């Protein structure tokens, strides 16, 4: 036993890449000292802290380690034996459904595989837009779900959302405006291997939401050594100008906003709280949460998470992202999915609309790259952001701003205004 404990202690390092998840446990009760010890180690994943305890995932010997500390816990793998998996579609059925969307609505849907999973399954992304074959200058939005394979609710909800949007295009004004004036990207399953295996990790046993470059650790923003699913998202994000997104999880009901990895407040903290509230307020269970005030939480205030996609997306790509936990049960009975969609449908539509609360520029040279410094009405800098393909867009709180643009060897300043009334056709200034 001493050998096991020493081996586990040796794994508790600050390495950028986690050890394979071999044990999945739920620690019971409040354990602040233990939580502090475990959080921050790349090979140990802490998740879903609540009044009952928290989940912890790690290498072989983790249970022995906790037992030696006198910590009460139970095995999540044993708990999953009681889950009803019936009626959920397989990967092949999901893929066929997405192909059906693309075949039935070719003018507004394009299906792309952005890479392969560990087991060679396609990582599929739907693009939805009125001129789907054209890279238009419009605000870009993204939904990603199920990067944890056993958190399945979001996969089913995003497919239902896409289905409804495609069917109602041209007849529902809000949906039609969104599709006509936005480039929307939807990835129902970032971890298809994990979902097929009914597990959190991918097929290599890695937690994908601890696998992204981490600024707190000064990780370089490169894909070397990362999981193929992570690499695919990194390459995809680098090819786009996405400015607002959300990723869907399960195990709680809350809208979680950055930062995840540090207690400092995000430079757009107020805006992120407002957007999280927009989502939560339209979801009856979320807004009335007894665990989370108003149904929202700051990520690090809940629990610290290193190597997450949420922080990475903004630090490297100017993509404001929140994490939406959709259901207390990670894999609820399939008959409950329609009810979850009813609870989240308006929130999902409204959150997409929020991408139009912002301002942008478009250059005559579509190949132009450059950078933009954003200043508020008082002249304070809100950051400098790179852009590509002749366009830049920034989601912002209502108010007046100055964009200091450097592109094609020229420098200029433009004044822009973001209104409280969202413009469905964006707010771009031609340069």
Catalytic residue among 55, 229, 325, 353: 325
- CB atoms < 10 A from the CB of 1, how many? 10
**Distance separating alpha carbons of residues 247 and 270, to the nearest angstrom:** 20
Question: Using an 8 Å Cβ cutoff, are 178 and 353 in contact?
Answer: yes
The answer to whether residue 325 is catalytic is yes
Question: 410 vs 186, 229, 387, 407, CA distance in Å?
Answer: 36, 38, 15, 5
Q: List the one residue out of 309, 307, 308, 279 whose CA is nearest residue 294.
A: 279
Task: Provide CB contacts within 8 A for 29, sequence distance 6+.
Answer: 52, 53, 72
Decide if 372 contacts 405 (C-beta within 8 A): yes
CA distances from 7 to 18, 318, 406 (A): 15, 40, 53
Q: Which residue has the tokens 């894909």?
A: 223
The span from the CA of 103 to the CA of 98, in Å, is 9
The two tokens of residue 6 are 């020493």
21 vs 232: CA distance, rounded Å: 21
CA terminus-to-terminus distance, the chain: 68
Q: How far apart are CA 336 and CA 350, in angstroms?
A: 22
Strand ranges, E, within 250-390: 254-257, 296-298, 320-325, 358-362, 370-376, 381-387
- Residue whose pair of structure tokens reads 């909800």 in the numeric block: 157
Look up residue 196 and give its two tokens. 């097929």
Active site positions, annotated: 325
């Amino acid at each position: 036993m001493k050998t096991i404990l020493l081996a586990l202690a040796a794994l508790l390092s600050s390495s950028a890449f986690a050890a394979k998840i071999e044990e999945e446990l739920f620690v019971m009760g409040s354990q602040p000292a233990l939580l502090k010890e475990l959080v921050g180690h790349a090979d140990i994943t802490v998740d879903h802290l609540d009044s009952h305890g928290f989940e912890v995932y790690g290498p072989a010997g983790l249970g022995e380690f906790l037992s030696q500390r006198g910590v009460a816990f139970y095995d999540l793998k044993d708990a999953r034996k009681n889950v009803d998996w019936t009626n959920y579609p397989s990967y092949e059925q999901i893929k066929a459904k997405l192909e059906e969307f693309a075949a039935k609505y070719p003018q507004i849907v394009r299906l792309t595989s952005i890479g392969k999973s560990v087991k060679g399954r396609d990582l599929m992304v739907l693009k939805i837009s009125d001129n789907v074959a054209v890279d238009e200058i419009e605000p870009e939005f993204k939904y990603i779900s199920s990067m944890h394979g056993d958190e399945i609710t979001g996969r089913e909800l995003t497919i239902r959302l896409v289905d409804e949007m495609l069917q109602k295009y041209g007849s529902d004004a809000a949906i039609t405006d969104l599709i006509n004036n936005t480039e929307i990207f939807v990835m129902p399953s970032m971890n298809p291997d994990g979902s097929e295996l009914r597990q959190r990790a991918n097929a290599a046993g890695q937690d994908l939401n601890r696998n992204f470059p981490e600024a707190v650790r000064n990780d370089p923003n490169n894909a070397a050594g990362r999981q193929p699913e992570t690499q695919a998202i990194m390459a995809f994000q680098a090819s786009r100008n996405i400015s607002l997104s959300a990723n869907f999880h399960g195990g709680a009901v809350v809208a979680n906003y950055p930062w995840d990895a540090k207690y400092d407040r995000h430079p757009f903290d107020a805006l992120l709280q407002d957007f999280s509230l927009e989502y939560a307020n339209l979801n009856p269970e979320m807004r009335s949460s007894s665990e989370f005030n108003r149904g929202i939480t700051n990520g690090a205030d809940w629990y610290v998470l290193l190597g997450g996609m949420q922080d990475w997306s903004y630090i490297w790509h100017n993509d404001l992202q929140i994490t939406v936990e959709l259901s207390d049960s990670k894999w609820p009975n399939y008959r409950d999915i329609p009810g979850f969609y009813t609870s989240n449908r308006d929130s999902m539509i409204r959150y997409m609309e929020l991408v139009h609360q912002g301002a942008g520029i478009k250059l005559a040279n579509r190949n132009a790259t450059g950078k933009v410094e954003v200043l508020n009405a008082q002249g304070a800098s809100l950051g400098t952001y790179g852009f590509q393909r002749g366009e830049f867009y920034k989601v912002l709180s209502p108010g007046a701003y100055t964009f200091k643009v450097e592109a094609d060897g020229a420098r200029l300043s433009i004044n822009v205004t973001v209104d409280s009334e969202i413009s469905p056709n964006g707010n771009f200034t031609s340069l």
